Amino acid sequence: MSLTANEQTKLLATALNKVAVATFVTALVAPTVSHLYGFSHSAGG
What's the distance, Cα to Cα, between the start and end of the chain in Å? Answer: 58
Over the chain, what HEC string results? CCHHHHHHHHHHHHHHHHHHHHHHHHHHHHHHHHHHCCCCCCCCC
- Calpha distance 32→43 (Å, rounded): 17
Q: Is the pLDDT of residue 45 over 70?
A: no
Q: Where are the domains of the chain?
A: 13-37
Q: Regarding predicted confidence, which is higher, 40 or 21?
A: 21
Confidence of residue 19 (pLDDT cuts 50, 70, 90): very high
pLDDT score recorded for residue 3: 96
- Calpha distance 22→38 (Å, rounded): 23
Model-level pTM greater than 0.85?
no
